[in-house]
Amino acid sequence: MKADEDQAKLMRGKIGMDLAGLFAFPWVIVVMAILSGVILPVILHHGLLFWFGMALLFAGVGVALFTYARFPLYRQGKFLAWGSGAISPERRAAYRWAWRLVLIAVSIQLVLIGITR
> Which amino acid, 35?
L
Report residue 35 CA to chain centroid gap.
17
- Which has more confidence, 26 or 108? 108
Give the count of beta carbons closer than 10 Å to the beta carbon of residue 108: 19
Q: Is the pLDDT of residue 65 over 80?
A: yes
Angle among Cα 20, 24, 19 to the nearest 5 degrees reads 25
Percent of the chain with pLDDT over 70: 76
Residue 101 and residue 89: Cα distance in Å, rounded? 19
- How many alpha carbons fall within 13 Å on the CB side of residue 115? 17
- Which has more confidence, 83 or 70? 70
Average pLDDT, rounded, for the chain: 78
Q: Is the pLDDT of residue 115 over 80?
A: yes
